[in-house]
Structure 1
Amino acid sequence: MNKKIIAVIVILIVFSCMYVAKPTFAASNTRLAGDTRFETSKVISGYYANGKVNNIILSTGNDFADALSASVFAHEKEAPLLLVDTSVDGSKDAFDYINQHLDTTGTVYIVGGAVIIGKEFEIKLNELGFKNIVRIAGIDRYDTSYRIASSLNNLTVSTVVISSGEQYPDALSISSFAAYKGWPILLSPYDALPRGIKNFLLERKPSKVYITGGIGVISDNIKNEICSLLPQASVDRLMGQSRFDTNAVIAETFAPNPSTVYLATGYGFTDALSGSSVAAKNGAPIIFIDPATPTLPKSVASYFEKFHAKNLRPNLVSLGGSGVVSDEVIENTRDLISGTVQETSIYSIADITATVTQNQGFSLPTTVQAKLYNSDTIDVPVQWNPKVVDTSCIGSRVYNGAVDGYGKAIKLNLMVKEPMPISQYSTNFDSSQANRTENIRLAAKALDGTLLAPGERFSFNGSVGERTAEAGYKEALIIEGDIFTPGLGGGVCQVSSTLYNAVIIANLEILEKHRHTLPISYVPPGQDATVAFPALDFKFRNSLDTSVLIRSTVQGNTLTFQLYRKSKN
């Protein structure tokens, strides 16, 4: 082969290799989930240790705070943290893991008193052959956190964490970091340090104290107490405006460049609690997401976006099922980390629905509300096709909109509805009287759609016409003098009387109106308007400054008249 040709081929191969698409996200994505919080806890524990273990921590999965400090203890004991229900029977998942993985000479540490995790758990463990059972419990959650901290092997504590014992997110946000570094997590009420916590601080004299959360969860009184007890210590508060902000602040402080990130709901403690022992293995962050939205909290989105600039591709581990950490959240996290999108990129623009009255003016919006990947919402300009709205015809229409930088079409679904009537009146009749019903239907149909210009006069007889057999009218009872007698068009007077009442409600000018010579039942006394072609007529004038449309309907045994204003255009 010609050397020049070979050289060209080599160059082409080199250039083609240079332009091979680079994977946007090479790290792994793992979901740890079960059908219940307890099964999820078992799955997470299996991920932590799938072989034999020497220690296991048991904690309640029913919203008690005793275990918030247990992650540090679990990490020291190299133990998975299993959640149990209120009864042994309801804690099958935990006992399954214990049977499969705990060495017979191993130890089960129960965190919390017998009111929370009953004595029956100890009995069941003994029956299964596990004799080494240690319960760590105080008189309350604060005392329990003190006892857990006091059980740690490290007696020379350099750093201590103070977290709220009443609101769990902040303690869970720092749990994996504190566990990894061996820092005790001590729980405190809002406004005053418990005696046991004070004693622990005085005994250990840490040089650094972190307070998690703002003054809404841990008051400055607590900080002042700590500064008074430990005048040589540095006391820092890790806080944001929300649980998600505080979570991100803690993550950025202790894990700016993580190799693994754990995702958990910010509105439930169980999955993050179970996952804290796993995340603590390498000091990985547990990042909170909001399960109510596929987008990420603003501070969390900012945290992830920074990874792209650093060329970081951490593994993602989701704690819990898709109901708490959705596939969309995971995908959006990956896109932010890979740089496929930015936190201020548009994630979605909802379709718009609007309803207008026929012939009512309607302008298409110049902006629409866009939701960003960081959960912010902003107004963005939109271009519509078509640009002009036609509201002359009743029904629905779809207008397509386009926004720069957003690849999907936006739809505005416009419903043009019939205007509200200026008046409406209904009467009932006996639909089993076939001839009379047919006469009512014919007369009502003749009037339906009549349009009266401003000032125009209306004649019932002129609009309906003579009631003849050729016109389809049938014999039914009519009033002649003081008797009811069969006659063509019986029932038509109910149509004129119903229309008369609608006209009165619309406050139009009555020109001619006659009463029956006998009482009738379909309208109140004095509110009837009899007609007889050509002698007796019902007439009125459209005294409004707009046209009036007459609509009539017969449904079942009900006759209805509606009068509408019609605009000049």
Structure 2
Amino acid sequence: MSKKMIASIIIVCNTMMAGFPVYAATNNSSSDISMSQSVKMNRLAGKTKYETAKAISEYYCSGKVDHVILATGNNFADGISASVLAHTKEAPILLVNSTVENSQDAFDYIRQHLDPSGTVYIIGGVGIIGDEFETELNELGFAQIVRIAGLDRYDTSYRIAESLHTTTGSSVVISSGEDYSDALSISSFAANKDWPILLSPAKELPEQLRNYLRELKPAKVFVTGGEVLISNNIISEISDLLPGASIERLMGQSRFDTNVIIAKTFATNPATVYLANGYGFADALAGSTVAAQKGEPIIMVDPSIPTLPKATAGYFENFCANNLSPDLVAFGGSGVVSDEIMANSKRLISGAVKGTSIYSIADLNQTVTQNESYSLPTTVPAKLYNSDTENLPVQWNPQTIDTSKVGTTVYTGVINGFANTIKLNLTVREPLPIAQYTTYFDPGLANRTENIRLAAKALDGKLLAPGERFSFNKSVGERTAEAGYKEALIIEGNSFTPGLGGGVCQVSSTLYNAVILAGLQIIERHRHTLPISYVPPGQDATVAYPELDFKFRNNTAASILIRSFVGDNSLTFKLYKK
């Protein structure tokens, strides 16, 4: 290829880097008006991780390329060391699925952009990316195919490193082969400087990596991650192998902390900050080619929350403190890097908010039992932009509490330094009953239903003091026409016959069963002379004024409240301790 043609390709690619938005989503909400307008936002995304990788590759270069790299989108192990190779070859990283048929986004890019004499680098063995991919590439006219694969992920990273022809005395990176976040955090910096990324198990260096380090004799070794991922034993091994080398461990308390420590080590003044899902590898891997061009950071975010990890918020705040305003580019759709995360990142970078500024305060919902003592909270938890939670003092209106009435009262709260008011929805509910029992009746029997309603109403709200005795007949009274009772079937002897107050025995029997469940002392109870259907056999309590009564005693140390509820076809008694 002529130098003129190469220069043309570089110009096209750099032009694309300067401002070709494959998929842009900028949040220009009213709250951002006061922000520095120099912080631009862009998003590189597709509907799937494979589409996103293609979108990133289009952004990387929409012209012709001489090389592309294929890595699986289903597993991180082989691909995370390929960022350095991609930068060296000026090649985008395309992600493929398990079959050619499901990898058309990658093949579309190759058809449109790979020079016919160009090379496709396949990362991983045929168990990861099958032979059918090579067959498809050959049928498309691409003959230059190089597969880089080892016996395992560690061997593959070693073989990628070998292909780089790194100069003796250079730096290298040692990252865990069991997790992707630390390797991807350093990938753009290592790629920019052509430092190989070698994967290692936690406890001991593989032999091929030992041999590689002996031969390369790097002057500096960066170890990413804590001791759980890369043990101190490996640090000792490296020291023994390279007695003259400087070894620096880059680690934090979490993947996000480590990510920021790496970014602060290598990118104090970036022109662009790239945001990616901290709990997924695909978008960051594909995006590492873009970030590596100028050695700029890929910052990991937690897609489950709209705020930034504490270390990340601090990193962004420092830009404003140093009069820096890097642009923001998200790798992936709003499901992994939300518009709110991008907007909050911009707010922190531009100085519109600080990490310790209040992001949100959720409304509160409290439920108490009727007449229960309750005090309004003096503080409420506030979510900060750095994802911390701080309890802040609050002033409520109204300030008085009344739990004597069942229902919901809304209190509004004011917090100093927070523009929005918050709400506390205080719901007062009836106390849970110590016992309840329900029976059912035929509402089509109008007279009987009315008698049930009258007797149940007479008992509703009755309060028994400790030791007090209850009499059904005394509480309900004589069942007379003057009292509103109607004729319905009653049991007299061994037959059913019409009589005033038919149905009242269902009320006494229902109450009896609730009293039994509450463990109260039964003083008097009579059974019907014929079977009845609304309670199980033997669990009835018949009454007939004034001869037959149902009596019990409140043998507890608390007052007992009787509540009755009559539905369309049901009768329920609930007993409460007061």
TM, length-normalised to structure 2: 0.89
What displacement does 1:384 show? 1.2
1:506, 1:135 → 2: CA distance? Answer: 78
Secondary structure at the aligned position of 1:487 is classed as strand
Provide the aligned length of Structure 1 versus Structure 2.
546
Q: What is aligned with 2:197? A: 185
What displacement does 1:496 show? 1.8
Letter in 1 for 2:137: L
Change (3 A) 1:329 1:445: same
Secondary structure at the aligned position of 2:515 is classed as helix
The Cα offsets for residues 470-523 of structure 1, whole Å up to 9 and x where unpaired, read as 544332221223433221211112212222333344455656554444454544
**Aligned to 2:405, which of 380, 393, 397?**
393
**Aligned to 2:425, which of 406, 413, 423?**
413
Q: Which runs of 5+ in 1 are unaligned?
A: 1-20
Q: What is aligned with 2:264? A: 252
- Calculate the aligned-residue CA RMSD, in Å: 2.1
| More deviation, 485-494/315-324 | 485-494
Secondary structure at the aligned position of 2:75 is classed as coil
User: Equivalent residues in 2 for 1:129-528 (5 A)?
Assistant: 129-452=141-464, 458-508=470-520, 513-523=525-535, 527-528=539-540
**Is 1:114 paired with 2:114?**
no
8 Å contact from structure 2 (residues 451, 503) kept in 1: yes
Secondary structure at the aligned position of 2:419 is classed as strand
1:487, 1:215 → 2: CA distance? Answer: 87
Q: What is aligned with 2:12? A: none
**Is 1:62 paired with 2:47?**
no
What displacement does 1:548 show? 3.5
1:505, 1:69 → 2: CA distance? Answer: 69
Secondary structure at the aligned position of 2:343 is classed as helix
What displacement does 1:469 show? 3.9
Letter in 2 for 1:281: Q
TM, length-normalised to structure 1: 0.91
1:179, 1:276 → 2: CA distance? Answer: 8
Change (3 A) 1:304 1:488: same
8 Å contact from structure 2 (residues 166, 195) kept in 1: no
Letter in 1 for 2:347: D
| More deviation, 489-498/258-267 | 489-498
Q: What is aligned with 2:28? A: none
Letter in 2 for 1:384: W
What displacement does 1:217 show? 0.3
Secondary structure at the aligned position of 1:406 is classed as coil
1:501, 1:152 → 2: CA distance? Answer: 85
What displacement does 1:206 show? 0.9
**Is 1:46 paired with 2:20?**
no
What displacement does 1:216 show? 0.7
Secondary structure at the aligned position of 1:87 is classed as coil
Letter in 1 for 2:433: P
1:273, 1:500 → 2: CA distance? Answer: 72
**Aligned to 1:26, which of 35, 38, 48?**
38
Percent identity over the alignment?
Answer: 69
The Cα offsets for residues 77-97 of structure 1, whole Å up to 9 and x where unpaired, read as 111111111111010100111
2:509, 2:456 → 1: CA distance? Answer: 11
1:187, 1:239 → 2: CA distance? Answer: 16
Letter in 2 for 1:32: L
Q: What is aligned with 1:5? A: none
Q: Which runs of 5+ in 2 are unaligned?
A: 1-32
Secondary structure at the aligned position of 1:55 is classed as strand
What displacement does 1:124 show? 0.9
What displacement does 1:199 show? 1.5
What displacement does 1:454 show? 5.7
| More deviation, 382-391/146-155 | 146-155
Letter in 1 for 2:248: D
What displacement does 1:235 show? 0.9
1:543, 1:116 → 2: CA distance? Answer: 76
1:114, 1:470 → 2: CA distance? Answer: 95
